[in-house]
């Protein structure tokens, strides 16, 4: 089973920053689009950001320039830098590996809690 190692979640105050990291096996990291999704309490999971192997990115509209996704090639990790955090950013954040192009199930991390207090 492919293991995605997530880190960086925690409790912060509004306006502060967090940096999430998702480390994947090299063979997965090198060929797959990866990204982050989040699920606020009582709500459906939503897209935060994705990044292809060539560096093309997409973002959820709610990010509004506050978040940046990038690849750390040396560590085979996808980084989500979250600045100017708001209470509505509170959610469980999940790392994702896209495998839809293969007609296969995606890989998911176990989730890391991000809580933003006012």
Two structure tokens written together for 49: 């950001």
Sheet containing 77-82: order of strands: 5-7, 18-23, 77-82, 67-72
pLDDT value for 63: 85
pLDDT value for 88: 96
Helices (H), 22-61: 26-29
Read off the DSSP letter of residue 100. Answer: G
pLDDT value for 58: 97
Q: Which residues face 11 on adjacent strands?
A: 115
Q: In Å, how far are 63, 94, 102 from 41, measured between CA atoms?
A: 18, 14, 31
Question: Running along the chain, 118 residues long, what does each successive block of 10 average in pLDDT?
Answer: 94 98 96 97 96 97 92 98 97 96 92 97
Residues 6+ apart with CB under 8 A from 105: 99
The total number of residues written for the chain in this structure:
118
Give which of 31, 68, 25 is closest to 49, Cα–Cα.
68
**Please, are residues 20 and 10 in contact by the beta-carbon 8 Å criterion?**
no
């Amino acid at each position: 089973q492919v293991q995605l190692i997530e880190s960086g979640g925690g409790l912060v105050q509004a306006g502060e920053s967090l940096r999430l990291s998702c480390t994947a096996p090299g063979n997965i990291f090198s060929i797959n689009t990866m990204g982050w999704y989040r699920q606020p309490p009582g709500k459906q999971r939503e897209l935060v950001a994705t990044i292809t192997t060539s560096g093309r990115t997409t973002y959820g509209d709610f990010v509004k320039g506050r978040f940046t996704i990038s690849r750390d090639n040396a560590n085979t990790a996808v980084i989500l830098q979250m600045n100017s955090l708001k209470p509505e950013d509170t959610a469980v954040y999940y790392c994702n590996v896209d495998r839809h192009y293969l007609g296969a199930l995606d890989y998911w991390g176990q989730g890391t809690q991000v809580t933003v207090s006012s």
